[in-house]
Amino acid sequence: MRAIIGPVALVDCNNFYVSCERVFDPGLLRKPVVVLSNNDGCVVARSNEAKGLGIGFGTPIFKCGELVRSKGLKALSSNYALYGDMSRRVMDCLSRFSPRIETYSIDEAFLDFSGIPLTERTAYAHQLRRRVLKEVGIPVSVGVATTKTLAKIANKLAKRNAGLKGVLDISGEVDMDALLSAFPVSEIWGVGYRYSQTLNRHGISNALQLRGADFSWVRKKMTIKGLRTVLELRGISCMPLELMSKDKKAITSSRSFGKPVVELDELKEAVATYVSRAAVKLRAQGSLAGTLMVFLATNRFKPDDPQYSNFLHLNLPTATSDSPELIRHACFGLQRIYREGFSYKQAGVILSNFSSERHTQLDIFGAEEKRERGRKLMGVVDAVNLRFGRGTLEFAACGLEQPWKTRQEMKSPAYTTNWDQLPVVRA
DNA sequence: TCTGGGGTCCTAGGACCC
DNA sequence: TCTGGGGTCCTAGGACCC
């Protein structure tokens, strides 16, 4: 369901992953903290204190050793079970402030504010902010404007200026020209590195200049999406609220390995593991995959090592969500592209070309009975893993030792999603 | 020693057809 | 040797997002 919108609020959690960690470990408050990517590789979330130390997004953590020693920088492995659960709590809380809500990402939501009179919007946003902090423990920022693109800008300004206390409403009378002329074009939603380079070359460096740019020129250089951005900067809403979450059109599962992998058998275990994870998500949305892509690659950061990467698309004979079947196809594909004599660093699979499980095309070879048994088995496996935690039941093809598994040496417990890891309060 | 993972949308161009 | 025009479908690649 889509809807034309009036004023809209963008609510964005501040330094979300770090804030989640702080809820359960107050010792991290007011300290420089970063959360690392899978494999404990590079920085994907930073506390304000860490940003103050000059640590950029994506910095490899091995370059921060000195800061850990001299400034007490604390680095944590990412804990997606925790962040996913905290996200759900934040969204629950927000939906009580406006039932017309679009969950845009794990840490962001757009809320329809058209029911709130102009003079009350700022106060309402402050109230919302206090409530999320009290109930969930996560600090958020709120930007209110007449379009999503402008709300994004308001939100960034609210975060940036401490005096605003996390809220900025630009949906009413404001000096929009002054505001936009001070906002760099590269920070506009939908303008990435490439486009901002092109725009800069043509003398467009701030949001006011982009707002005034020639429509057909923008259309040519930045496609229809760029044109929508320009219109939104003018206050014309082109991006409606998406109130219903949509099914995914593709599901990827891939990881860098904790250490290089040479043997085909080990690669097969890894790929079998990834494809079973993807299959769980596939079944959860009631889809069948018609295409499976498998890929592998050596470490591109070691240019002196022999390099090789490849991928293979497989059009499956029958669309399926059956884990053993998908594992068979993935291993077959992997075998086709595997070359001996390389140290592999990464592999993965992408499922796509989905159809609905409810109107399956019948298998011309009459294997319906077998498929039905498979469906029931998958249902049981998913239910057990949901109840007792991921990995309770696994396929033998995924291996037992899993030496290739990613490193996560600084991970916090799954405080909210695993009974064994609930926080303990000491009297 | 150590450098992420998971998505979406749009367009150009090729293959193919009449 | 010369060599049309219009349409559809598909895919690879590029741009963006968090």
The reported pLDDT for the residue numbered A427 is: 47
- Tell me, in Å, how far CA of A215 is from C1' of B1? 52
Task: Give the pLDDT of residue A362.
Answer: 57
- Nearest nt to the CA of A189 via C1' is C17
Footprint of strand B on the protein (CB under 7 A): A 37-39, 41-42, 44, 57-58, 60, 62, 223-225, 246, 248-256, 277, 281, 299, 301-302, 345-346, 348, 350, 406
Residue nearest to nucleotide C18 (CA to C1'): A105
Q: Rounded CA gap, A180 and A54, in Å?
A: 26
pLDDT at A389: 77
Nucleotide at minimal C1' distance from the A313 CA: C11
pLDDT confidence of A51, banded at 50, 70, 90? very high
Q: CA of A354 vs C1' of C11, distance in Å?
A: 17
Q: How far is the CA of A308 from the C1' of B11 (A)?
A: 29
Q: A352 pLDDT exceeds 90? A: yes
Contact A414/A79 with Cβ under 8 angstroms?
A: yes
Question: CA A88 – C1' C17 distance (Å)?
Answer: 20
Least confident span in A38-42, A58-62, A154-158, A418-422: A418-422
- Segment A369-378 mean pLDDT: 82
Report, as an integer, the average pLDDT of A154-176: 97
Quick check: A311 CB within 7 A of strand C?
no
Residue nearest to nucleotide B8 (CA to C1'): A249
Output the distance from A344 CA to B8 C1' rounded to whole Å. Answer: 29
Q: Does residue A106 reach within 7 angstroms of strand C, measured from its CB?
A: yes
Amino acid at A118: L
- Per-residue pLDDT for A139 more than 80? yes
CA distance A233 to A191: 12
Examine the pLDDT at A333 and tell me if it is beyond 70: yes
A264-289 tens-digit pLDDT: 999 999 999 999 999 999 999 999 99
User: Residue A385: its pLDDT value, please?
Assistant: 77
Q: What does the pLDDT look like over A212-243, one tens digit per residue?
A: 999 999 999 999 999 999 999 999 999 999 99
Distance A53 CA to C2 C1' (A): 71
pLDDT for A424 beyond 60:
no
% of chain A with per-residue pLDDT over 90: 81
Whether the per-residue pLDDT at A425 is higher than 50: the answer is: yes
Whether pLDDT at A357 is above 70: yes
- Closest by CA to A320, choosing from A373, A356, A272, A273, is A356
Nucleotides of C under 7 A from a protein CB: 12, 14-18
User: Integer distance in angstroms from CA A59 to C1' B3?
Assistant: 8
> Nearest nt (C1') to A223 (CA)?
B10
The predicted pLDDT at position A126 comes to 98
Whether pLDDT at A361 is above 70: no
Q: Rounded mean pLDDT of A246-254? A: 96
Q: Which positions in strand B are less than 7 Å from the protein's CB atoms?
A: 1-11
Query: What is the Cβ-side half-sphere exposure of residue A72, based on CA atoms within 13 angstroms?
Result: 7
A192 beta carbon < 7 A from strand C? yes
CA dihedral A171, A16, A159, A47 (to 10 degrees): 180
